[in-house]
Each structure stands twice: as structure tokens, then as C-alpha cells.
């Protein structure tokens, strides 16, 4: 598809163009939208690269710890790990070898992917456009597929921990009797189902909505005249640093809270 990338006709067209993913149709193995059987290659590539970077850097630091004068990188890694550990200790009182690493992974991964929102919106797509790739979205966390994948994994873990901590019978008993006693069990089950199903939906939509709004406003700033872009972009970037951190933090915090609720 040929698009006039360098000279879009209207700002609407420009935004439209920037909101399309680099998609691979799995039925025909051609680029383009294939309904359900579609891979968003940009999201996949960036998430895998940044996941790999996260593991690589943390492993690199952990394997060569020095107890004398730690370097800046080691300090940063230690601070992150201690920060997450402290939070998990405060909220979660049982024993689990999974929750703290999971929380750390979620926090660092989402944080680094969110950070991609701060690079100029046209940079990646302009470079890749020279290689013949017409669509590229640089922020994976404003792809609902990615955020839903994350939150559904957390949801599966919630159900798993519910079953593990209480056993099947205990879980069933809790579902049937908890708010109103055993005689109103249809109401109890309905409430519980709604409560559980809202968790993954709100978790992922929260992250997606924030990052999508941020990206959209960056795109709008990019359509402004050049002399105002610096001011507007600067202000929004500074505000967005806060949003990025808070959203990564909230996702992690809610994961810890949900999992510890499942344990109790």
C-alpha cells in the first residue's frame, strides 16, 4: 500500500496512518489484517526485545555482583529489586516464590515498554519507511492485544492460586456462600463471577487507555506547527513520565493485591 507518509493530506489521515499496526496475516502469510489470525509484528518484536533486554541486564548484574563499590547499574538493579520486594512483603503475607519475581517482571517490562512513548512519534516509522515498511507502532502497551495478554495471564494465575490455596472444595464453598450466605447462592455466584471477570478487563483497559491517550496526544502535537511543538511536546512529555511510571506501578501493585487476595 502506498501512503504519502511525508506529506499527509489531512491531520486525520496522518493519525490514521500512525494508528495502524504492522500486521501479518497468518492465513495467507502476507502483510495485512486477517481478522482473528493476525500477528501484530511490531508489538511482538518490541515486547520480545525488551523482555530479553530486561532479563539480560538483570542477569548480567546478578552474576557479577561486587560487594565493594557497586557500580551505577548494580545500584539501579538493587534498588528496583528491593523496592518491589518491600511492596510484596507489605501486601502479601504468605509464602510464594512466584509473586515477587512476577511483580518485578511486570513492573520493569511494562515500564520499559511505556518508556517508548517518549521517543519522537515519527522516529521509528520514518526510519523503517526507508526500508519499505509502511506501518509501525512504537509503543506495544497501547496495543490492546498485549495488555489483554498480560492481564489474562494474571487472571489465570489468580484462578490457579485460588484453587491451590483453598482447594477445589474450599473455592467452591467460598463462591457459593460468601457475601449473603448459602440460601442466596445464585446471587453470590453472579457477584463473584462479575468481580473476577472485571479484574482482567479493568487491568488491561487501564494500561491501554492511558498509553493510547498519551500516544494520540503526541500524534496531535506532531500535527501542530513546528514552533509550538517544542513547548507542547515538552509539557506533555513531562506529564507523561508520571503517567508511565504510575501505570506500570499500578499494574504491578494490583497484580500483587489480587494474588494475595486469592491466597486468603
Partner 1 sequence: MGESTVELAHLIAGIQSITVIAAAGLIAIAALGTALSFGMLGGKFLESIARQPELAPMLTMRMFVMAGLIDAFAAISVATGLLLVFGSNPFLAAVLNAATKVS
Could you list the residues that contact partner 1 (CB under 8 A)?
Answer: 11-12, 15-16, 19, 202, 205-210, 212-214, 216-217, 220, 223, 243, 246-247, 249-250, 253
Task: Give least dist CB 210 to partner 1, A.
Answer: 4
Q: Residue 39 is inside which H or E element, if any?
A: strand 38-40
Residue 8 C-beta: closest distance to partner 1, Å: 12
Cell numbers given for 199: 479484574
Which one, 50 or 212, has the nearer CB to partner 1? 212
- Active-site residue, 206 included: yes
Q: Is 137 a catalytic residue?
A: no
Instruction: Find, among 264, 241, 227, the residue nearest to 93 by Cα.
Output: 264
In the bound state with partner 1, the residue whose beta carbon lies nearer, of 136 and 251, is 251
Do the Cβ atoms of 121 and 219 come closer than 8 Å? yes
Nearer to partner 1, 125 or 188 (CB): 125
Cα 127 → chain centroid: 25
Catalytic residue, chosen from 169, 206, 237, 260, is 206
Q: What cell does 254 get?
A: 494490583
3-state helix, strand, coil in the chain (%, to 5): 75, 5, 25
Catalytic residue among 112, 188, 204, 210: 210
Smallest separation (angstroms) from partner 1 to the CB of 221: 12
Q: Which three cell numbers stand for residue 258?
A: 489480587
- Kindly tell me which of 61 and 154 has the beta carbon lying closer to partner 1: 154
Question: Is the Cβ–Cβ distance between 143 and 40 less than 8 Å?
Answer: yes
Is 151 an active-site residue? Answer: no
Catalytic site residues?
202, 206, 210
Amino acid at each position: 500500500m502506498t501512503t504519502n507518509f511525508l506529506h499527509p493530506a489531512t491531520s486525520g489521515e496522518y493519525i490514521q496512518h500512525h494508528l495502524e499496526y504492522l500486521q501479518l496475516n497468518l492465513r495467507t502469510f502476507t502483510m495485512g489484517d486477517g481478522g482473528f489470525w493476525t500477528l501484530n509484528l511490531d508489538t511482538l518484536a518490541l515486547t520480545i526485545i525488551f523482555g530479553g533486554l530486561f532479563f539480560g541486564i538483570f542477569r548480567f548484574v546478578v552474576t557479577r555482583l561486587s560487594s565493594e563499590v557497586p557500580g551505577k547499574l548494580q545500584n539501579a538493579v538493587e534498588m528496583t529489586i528491593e523496592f518491589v520486594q518491600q511492596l510484596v512483603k507489605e501486601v502479601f503475607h504468605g509464602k510464594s516464590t512466584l509473586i515477587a519475581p512476577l511483580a518485578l517482571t511486570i513492573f520493569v517490562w511494562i515500564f520499559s515498554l511505556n518508556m517508548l512513548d517518549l521517543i519522537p512519534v515519527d522516529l521509528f516509522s520514518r526510519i523503517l519507511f526507508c526500508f519499505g515498511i509502511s506501518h509501525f507502532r512504537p509503543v506495544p502497551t497501547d496495543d490492546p492485544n498485549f495488555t489483554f495478554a498480560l492481564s489474562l495471564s494474571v487472571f489465570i494465575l489468580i484462578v490457579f492460586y485460588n484453587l491451590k490455596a483453598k482447594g477445589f472444595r474450599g473455592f467452591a464453598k467460598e463462591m457459593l456462600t460468601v457475601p449473603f450466605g448459602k440460601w442466596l447462592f445464585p446471587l453470590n455466584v453472579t457477584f463473584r463471577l462479575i468481580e473476577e471477570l472485571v479484574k482482567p478487563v479493568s487491568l488491561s483497559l487501564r494500561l491501554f487507555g492511558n498509553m493510547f491517550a498519551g500516544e494520540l496526544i503526541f500524534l496531535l502535537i506532531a500535527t501542530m506547527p513546528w514552533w509550538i511543538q517544542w513547548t507542547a511536546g515538552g509539557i506533555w512529555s513531562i506529564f507523561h513520565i508520571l503517567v508511565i511510571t504510575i501505570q506500570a506501578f499500578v499494574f504491578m501493585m494490583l497484580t500483587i493485591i489480587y494474588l494475595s487476595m486469592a491466597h486468603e
